[in-house]
Structure 1
């Protein structure tokens, strides 16, 4: 399975502007720029997209892991915060912090912690990231 996205950029790094388009069309000429990445201008940026991908991937991996144990979650809600830090002359994604709130009838706190940890380590986006990955999981 392959998925694709493309970027088009015009101008310099600081003053230029770009667009992102995904194979599915969910992003279709979506704006991004220096100011959407390093300031607060409306638009997206690579780190926000990585955070969305990590939150979505982890949450789906957890749903599958719970299903394999015969459990059906009522709700799994995950936030991912991706940290971009200075790295020499450039930058690097240094961390993705996952925060999970879950409603899973019939699971003990110990089993929940184990399954959530396994989903964090096993989700394909976690495996892709060369960064510290943390998980703060709470069973509601």
Structure 2
């Protein structure tokens, strides 16, 4: 399977005082605002780091679900938080925090599948330059 997805950004003004927006082809994001304040301070709007975190959390969680299914399990619920660390102009770390309820699974199988999902998730692969860590909790 091969496909291309599109997203776009627009910016007006200087880096510190300007304002921008981001949009996705699906229109889930439609001119969502971002700015210096929303990225480096507090403000209403989004920023590249949280968008990256949302994409990575979504990709990882779906991959985990596929791997569970391959082993005969179906999750009642999976919640993943991606904590993206920005430090001195670089994204240095992404920590994936998974909490899941999966009937009949052992702790070891849960951990093994989570580890494999982190390794083979397409966004984990593309982000391999950053440290990507994981904590997984079976509830």
Superposition pairs of residues 64-83 of structure 1, within 5 angstroms: 64-83=66-85
| Aligned with residue 111 of structure 1, among 109, 112, 117 | 109
Alpha-carbon distance between aligned partners in 1 of 2:42 and 2:119, rounded to the nearest angstrom:
32
Question: Structure 1 residue 7 and structure 2 residue 9: aligned?
Answer: yes
SS in 2 for 1:106: coil
Superposition pairs of residues 47-86 of structure 1, within 5 angstroms: 47-86=49-88
Alpha-carbon distance between aligned partners in 1 of 2:110 and 2:85, rounded to the nearest angstrom:
26
SS in 2 for 1:65: helix
SS in 2 for 1:32: strand
Question: Which one has the bigger strand percentage?
Answer: 1
Could you say which residue in structure 1 is the equivalent of 2:137?
138
SS in 2 for 1:137: strand
Report the TM-score when normalising by structure 1.
0.95
Alpha-carbon distance between aligned partners in 2 of 1:29 and 1:107, rounded to the nearest angstrom:
42
Quote the RMSD (CA, aligned, Å).
Answer: 0.6
SS in 1 for 2:105: coil
Deviations 1:40-94, CA, capped at 9 Å, x for gaps: 10100000000000110000000000000111110011111101110xxxx1111
Structure 1 consecutive aligned stretches of length 4 or more whose deviation exceeds 6 Å? none
How many residue pairs get matched?
136
Shift of 1:111: 1.0
Unaligned runs of 5+ in 1: none
